[in-house]
Amino acid sequence: MQTVDRPVRRCSFCGKKQGEVRLVAGPSEVYICHLCVALCTEILAHEGRPEPPGAPGPLIRTEVTSS
């Protein structure tokens, strides 16, 4: 019986194998592991910079009254 070698999926950021971490699939065979997601989340939380230009702001409701 012939065995089929499957490619080993790895995190595209840190290179860890699928058996070592949980992977989230992206487009075109790109993967990110749960550890890299956590690290990115932490970096963004502590970055402290304002939202980039053009980012959606909070929704504001304005009241219009008739005279």
Q: How many other CB atoms are there within 10 angstroms of residue 23's CB atom?
A: 18
Helix extents (H) in 1-67: 34-47
Cα 27 to chain centroid, rounded: 12
Q: Which residues contact 16 (CB under 8 A, 6 or more apart)?
A: 10, 33, 35
Tokens of 59: 């929704």
What are the DSSP E strand ranges found in the chain?
Answer: 23-25, 31-33
pTM over 0.75? The answer is no
- Per-residue pLDDT of 7-62, as tens digits, reads 899 999 999 999 999 999 998 889 999 999 999 999 988 887 666 677 666 666 65
